[in-house]
Every structure is written in structure tokens, then in C-alpha cells.
Chains A and B, each alone.
Chain A
Amino acid sequence: MTQHVRFYQTGSFAVGNRLLPAEARTVQSDPTRANSLTSGHRACRGCGEALGARYVLDAAMRATGGRLVTVNATGCLEVFSTPYPESSWRVPWLHSLFGNAPAVASGVAAALKARGRTDIRVLGQGGDGGTVDIGFGALSGMFERGDDVLFVCYDNQGYMNTGVQRSGATPPAARTSTTQAVGPAPGNVFGQGKSAPLIAMAHEIPYVATATIADLHDLESKVERAMGLHGARYLHVLVPCPLGWGSDAAQTVRIARLAVQSGLFPVFEAERGAVSAVSPIRHRVLVEEYLRPQARFRHLFEPERRADVIDGLQAIADRNIRRFGLLPGEQT
């Protein structure tokens, strides 16, 4: 695959695009940005989670005028940002455990309320493991009580920090270290896994959204939108992990875009349990184009092409496209 290069990338939302009017630029191209997660941290090259977290937090800082407190679950983001005695965080940041970040965030929110400090807002964050698996009870409790917290899940579709094991967010067929590419049905099982955003919606909380690091403006505006609301809010961000996905570090953003364009990762917003907006697919691609650049799906192409499995994944994408109306104007 070759990438079509555009000079100045006019009309795109690339970082630092100086041709865009100032208010339309991303936070990162603003020299006065918060820079909540500073450089020098130890994420892998091309880490989607580091990129996602930086955008989310800087946008949240901007939206709250810097009145922000953050809570972090155990996981790559926590580990690569705070190896003692260093810290990459320029925001108040608390890490407690792997499975309790939403509850800790609830506690922070309760404390601020009791202390009459409602000018300060709370943002919780964790990986997909910390969010959709081990922290799910705490997350659901936080949603159900309507605690004033935005919880952000950085979904890299596996337990990356511990060496790329399968999580409840790992897609079917993906190779992880606990769903290896061996045996007659290599990779992760079909028919398992869950959609945390849809379950979040079932709590009828004020705001649920998905986003990816392929569209940073969209990500930022969703964070800003979320911080403009009160109560429990949820943002699920797809963040490719070059190490776990076996993808080129320079292709992280492109792969996130292909996930969206294939329909495998629907980007939408929901209010009080109902979908209120979707990001339509502009250039649809087949799932195969998304799968090929990732070593975690290599067994679908080598030693021979597994059309049955690829079809199975295409069917999932097609269903997403129908379900969320990702291709408006197209009869499906």
C-alpha cells in the first residue's frame, strides 16, 4: 500500500497545520497548549495510546481552563509515564490500581463536591483491559450513580503492558499471546468480546462517544463536548499499538483510519442512550486492507489466504455499517 501524499495536507487535520485558521487547528499546534503529557516518557515509537492520551488531556485542559484532576488505571500509559523518580504528567495525576480507576475517579469527584470545589473536573483513564474487563464493575457503578467523571478508554485491543494478552476488546481472529496463531482456528475466537460503548449507552448516561487517533479534531471536540456536560460520561478511543498489533510504527494513524474506513470501528456519539451522530465513512475500504499491515492478522494471509476468516471479519464490518448507518446514501 502506498499512501497518497498531499503537500501542506490542506483540508486534513494533520498536526501543526498552519494553513488552517487558528481556531480550527488541533490543540497540539497551539504553542500555549497545556502539554499535559510531556515528552520523555517511555512509550514505544508510534504508540497510539500516548498520542491519544496527549490529545485527550490537552483538550480537557483547554475545556476546563486547566481545572482538571486525572485518575489512571494500571497499564502501558501509567507505566511509561511515571517510572520513579520521573513523571511526564503536568496535571494532577493519581494511579491506584488496575481495576479500580473509575471508582477512584468517583471518589475524587465526591471529595471535590464535598469540599465545594466543583470548579475542578475529573477525568479517569485506562486501557481496554482496565476498562472493559477488570474495571468494568467499577465503571458501571460510576455510570449508574451518575458521578461527575469523564472516563476515557484507550482501546488497543489487548493487555499490552503485560505482553499483549487477549482482552474482552480483542477482535476475532487477532493473534495475541493468549490467542496464538496456532491450531485449526488460529487467533482470537469469533462470537466473543463486548462493546463497552454500547453497554455504556445502556446506562443512559448523558454522553458516550467513540473516536480514534486518526481524526484528532474529532477526538478533541468530543473531549470538549464531554467536559461541557456533567454526570458520568464515556469516551472510547481506538489507539493502535505497533508492538502488540505488529504494525509499522509510522503507520499508527493510518491503521486507525483504516479501522474506521473498513467499518470495523464505528465512530459515533450517543446521548442518554440513543445514537445522536455518526462519522460517515468517506472512503470505504475492505477489511482486508486494514488487516494486511498488521502481523497479528498475518495468519489470515500466510501460509495461505483464509477467506473464511476474512469474510467473517468483513461481515462484522458490514453489520456495523448497517447498524450505525456509516455509509449514508448507500442502500445496504
Chain B
Amino acid sequence: MLSQIEGSRAVAETVGHCRPQVICAYPISPQTHIVEALSALVKSGRLTACEFVNVESEFAAMSVAIGASAAGARAYTATASQGLLYMAEALYNASGLGLPIVMTVANRAIGAPINIWNDHSDAMSQRDSGWIQLYAEDNQAAADLHVLAFRLAEELSTPVMVCMDGFVLTHAVEAVDVPSQAAVDRFLPAFQPRQVLDPDAPLTIGAMVGPEAFTEVRYLAHTNQLRALARLPELADQFAATFHRDLDALVSPYRCDDASTVVVALGSVLGTLKDTVDGMRTAGMPIGVLGLTAFRPFPAAAIKTAIGAAKRIVVLERAFAAGAGGIVSADLAPVLPADRELYTVVAGLGGRPVTRDSLRETLAAAFAGRLAPLTFLDLDERLLRAAEEVPS
């Protein structure tokens, strides 16, 4: 049933319907509304058989989730930005231990300078942490992806991050069909941990592993994550059958079939991109948009298929690697046939709006083969000059 609801609330209700058993929370904007709503669900008794733990840091949040998951509970937490970095060590640990924790990342920039607004620097910084990363295009996807995330995480025994743009999605009120309890129960079976701390069958979890087996452990983690590439579309089909709506679990191509230029992006900017591209097509420019839901594992084959014969690929990056360039672009480059042109456009850092006008201009330049390999959308030359003039 569609209802006008804030993104955070939709996610919280959905997570509640996934029957988590331990929720840990440490506040950081723009994640706060999610954990506030969940705390109320638990405290009011609407969500039962669930412990809500108010921890003293994000490091503790992930650590509590690790302990809870290893003890056989479905564990959930949410964070953003500085909080995600603060739990970085525990992120690698959770994936290394193969614990199917699900976490929402309300994507936000990383300081300094401190900035609470949206970009993807936080999640991208943890792309190699061994977590599966799924990015939501809108709040319906944000809600639905959580249901999928628990299922996938538990099937593969690996943690999953659901990334949703901070404020742009978390604080936006739009029509969402919150997955109902009954439907979620049909889709998501009770958690059957692969390994559990149990006095009746004592296990040593987290032993020290040296050079004799470490490579193999990592290799297996890699192949395990790659299994998600095949599993995600299957789960999306099951999801559609249960919830009667589509869910793009890997990639979402939009008007790519006949496109000579394809723009690749993740998250809420896809909406603006599609609008822009619609306008440009009317003006005779066959441009397509390819949204990535999965960033880890990287859906190389699906991207290659979706891109088809398109000659130019523009990657719209909501984060970037200082001293190198585009992060998604770097993953994409080896996937592309040698005859393709790759452009990186860094846009919308620290919450700067990505406008249709600017996009149209940049994409038109790319379409005409006039775009530099790496550009920063709407770079304010006046501010750059001012920075140069500051006496050192």
C-alpha cells in the first residue's frame, strides 16, 4: 500500500518487518531518523524479540553487531560518513568472519572540512572492506533493497550495506509501498546462521591465520561475493513475484539500447539524469543512463551488456580518489572494450546540487567528444582563485 512517508521512516519500518533481533545505533546525520524510528518500534513493543542497544560509538555499534551475529541473531545497524570510517576496522572484521550483518549507510561526505551533506565518499572509501554494497535510486528501492539485503547476506553469509543518499533520500517524503510484514515473512526465512557460538557445539571463531592459508581465505571471500552477481537477479525475480513490483538488483539500464553515449551513475542522481537524458533525446542526442545498484560485487558483465555498442561512457562520480580520479571509473575502465571513450565527471560533492542544466551541458560536450577525461561539474573558478590568493 502506497503511503507518503519519509525515506528514513520507510527504511525503519521495512527493517522492522525483517524481524531484526539486535539493532545497534549511534547517531550521526543523516542516519538519525532511521535509528530513532527503530528505537520507537522496539520500545513501544511493536517490534518484539529484539534488543535495541544504544552504543557509545560506531566502532561499538559494528562490534555489538558482530557479537550478536556470531551468537545467532539477525543484526542491523545504520551509519554515515565519519561514523562509517570510525567503524572501518570492524567492517573488515565482520566480512572476514562472514557475518551477515545488514547496515544502512545514509551517504554523506567525509571531513575535513566537516560537511553533513550528501555524496558517496563514505561508502566508496569502504569498497574493499568485503561488504556487498547496494545503492538505492529512490526510497522505494531503499526500502526494498533492505529486504533483499537480509536475504542475500544470510544466504551468502556475508555482510551487506544498503546505501541511500543522505537527506536527498533519507529526509525526502515521497510515496513508498513499505514491504508488508506478511510479504516480508514470505520472502525472508528465519536466520539460520552458518556458524554460531553455542555451548553444545563449541567453535573457535576468529582464529589467527598466517601465510599458509590467508590467501585462500581472501580468495574464497572474493568468489563468495561474486556469487551475488548470479544470485541478485534471481532474488529480484522472487522479490517481484512476492511484492508485485520490480527491483533492479544489479544494474538498471535506461534507454541504453540505441545509445551512442551512456552515463553511468549510482543513487538518487539517476532520477535527474534520466530527466536530462529524456530532454536531450528529444533534441536528437541518443544518450542512455546506466544505474548501478550493485557496486560490490562489481557487476562487470551486466555493465558490458547494458552498454552494448555505446561509444562513449560518462561516469558520474559522487566521490573521487584524490591524486587518482574517478573511483567507479577505475573499476569500469578494464571492463570496456578498447575502442570506447571513458569520461569521468565528479559531481555533487558535499551536497552540491547536480542540476539538469549543468548535466545537459556536460553530457552534450561528451556527446560531441569535447569533454576532458576528468572534469568537476560546476567547479567555481572564483573560489579557486580566492584560495590561491590566501597568503601562505
A interface with B by C-beta (< 8 Å): 66-69, 71-72, 78-79, 82-85, 87, 89-97, 99-100, 103-116, 120, 137-138, 140-141, 144-145, 147
Contact = CB atoms under 8 A, between A and B. Distances in A.
B97 A96 contact: yes
A114 B21 contact: yes
Contact of A96 (B73, B90, B201, B203): B90
Contacts of A115: 21, 49, 71-73
Nearest to A91: B202
A20 to B, nearest CB: 29
Interface string B189-207: 0000000011101111111
A90 B53 contact: no
A83 B211 CA distance: 11
Count chain B CB atoms within 10 A of each CB in A72, A92, A107, A120 and give the residue with the most: A107
A21 B95 CA distance: 50
A111 B72 contact: yes
Given A83-B208, A96-B97, A107 B22 contact: yes
Contact of A108 (B55, B71, B204): B71
Contacts of B206: 72, 82, 93-96
Contacts of B212: 84
B257 interface: no
A282 B207 CA distance: 42
A100 B197 contact: no
Given A68-B199, A96-B63, A108-B68, A114 B51 contact: yes
B22 A92 contact: no
A111 B75 contact: yes
Contacts of B51: 110-111, 113-114
Nearest to B204: A87
Contacts of B71: 69, 107-108, 111-112, 115
Nearest to A99: B59
B64 A69 contact: no
Interface string B88-129: 011001000100000000000000000000000000000000
Contact of A67 (B64, B89, B199): B199
A107 B59 CA distance: 12
A109 to B, nearest CB: 8
A320 B306 CA distance: 74
A109 B212 CA distance: 34
B204 A82 contact: yes
B56 A140 contact: yes
A90 B72 CA distance: 19
Contact of B60 (A71, A95, A114, A137): A137
Contact of B73 (A99, A114, A120): A114
A96 B206 CA distance: 6
Contact of A106 (B67, B89, B209): B67
Nearest to A92: B197
Given A69-B199, A84-B207, A104 B63 contact: yes
A138 to B, nearest CB: 5
Contacts of B56: 137-138, 140-141, 144
B129 to A, nearest CB: 14
Interface string B26-54: 00000000000000000000000111011
B213 interface: yes
A84 to B, nearest CB: 4
Please list the 3 inter-chain residue pairs (A to B) with the smallest Cβ-Cβ separation, ordered nearest first.
A107-B67, A111-B73, A95-B206
Contacts of B204: 82, 87, 89, 93
Nearest to B99: A96
B70 interface: yes
A120 B72 CA distance: 13
A116 B68 CA distance: 13
18 contacts: A69-B197, A79-B208, A83-B210, A84-B208, A92-B197, A92-B199, A93-B202, A97-B93, A100-B60, A103-B59, A107-B22, A107-B69, A107-B75, A108-B68, A109-B67, A113-B51, A141-B55, A141-B56
A41 B22 CA distance: 34
B24 interface: yes
